[in-house]
Amino acid sequence: MKIIKIASSQGGLGKATGSELAPDRVIEKTKELFMSEEGILPVFDVEAAEIIDSNIEETNKNIYSKALETLRKNTRPLFLGGDHSVTYPIVKAFSEVYPENPGIIIFDAHPDAENDFMPPSQEDLLCALVSQKIIKKENIILIGTRNWDKNEIEFIQKNKIKYFPMKEIISEGIHEISESFMAIAKNFKDLYVSIDIDVLDPAFAPGTGYIEPGGLTTRQLLFFLHRLKKLKNIRAYDIVEVNPAKDVNDMTSKVGAKLMVELC
């Protein structure tokens, strides 16, 4: 599996400092896992996007270029952040490599639909994707949301973005929810999956920028990902917002490593 390290926290508005340490730490923790639960021996081919300190515009250009190159040459690569803003240049490249009918599933505690910043930050990723028409709004699925402000929920409802909040996941059950979003996602020509680690309850992933109680368990997230892997239209993944500087006993880095191995 091709892994692209994106060791940047520049889009975190000062709240994600430490997430730039995640790629190396998470990859290190994969050495403790011998194979996936499906019996696959993980083999990672690791490269890195060039990060320009204190220059998010140039950094985003580099991420975009690296993503273009990677997506054109590899099947189901994984981009390892970094804060969630790194998803913006990756998905911009993704929509150019796969222009016909791309879609995205975002696992996240938050909609990331604050006012549209330029360059996009970790707090307005969704706004940027919609306003710049990088992904059609009807081709966006949010899973695991549980904290948003008034403007964000209005944005989601106005644009009729499909979302499966935690309350619904618990009330309906993970099997029913997975059937629902799989039925939608299979109609996209090409699918990108973005995993913000804060979709997990902090009991399982304390090392992240925004602690939001009431999230998915690690096993629930793995259930969703194992189901999604069966879709033939998945083209790429990312894992973002792991923050070793805020972690407890490397718990979150180990979860990130587990996700990497299971996505092989």
CATH number at residue 254: 3.40.800.10
State residue 73's pLDDT score.
97
pTM, full prediction:
0.95
> Do 209 and 246 contact (CB within 8 A), yes or no?
yes
- pLDDT tens track for 160-210: 999 999 999 999 999 999 999 999 999 999 999 999 999 999 999 999 998
Sequence-separated contacts (24+) of 115-122 with Cβ below 8 Å: 115/151, 119/11, 119/56, 119/57, 119/60, 119/85, 119/88, 120/11, 120/85, 120/88, 121/11, 121/12, 121/13, 121/85, 122/11, 122/12, 122/13, 122/15, 122/16, 122/83, 122/84, 122/85, 122/209, 122/241
Domain that holds residue 239: 2-263
Structure tokens at 171: 């009330």
* Total structural domains within the chain: 1
Ranges in the chain, pLDDT < 70? 13-14, 115-123
State residue 122's pLDDT score.
52
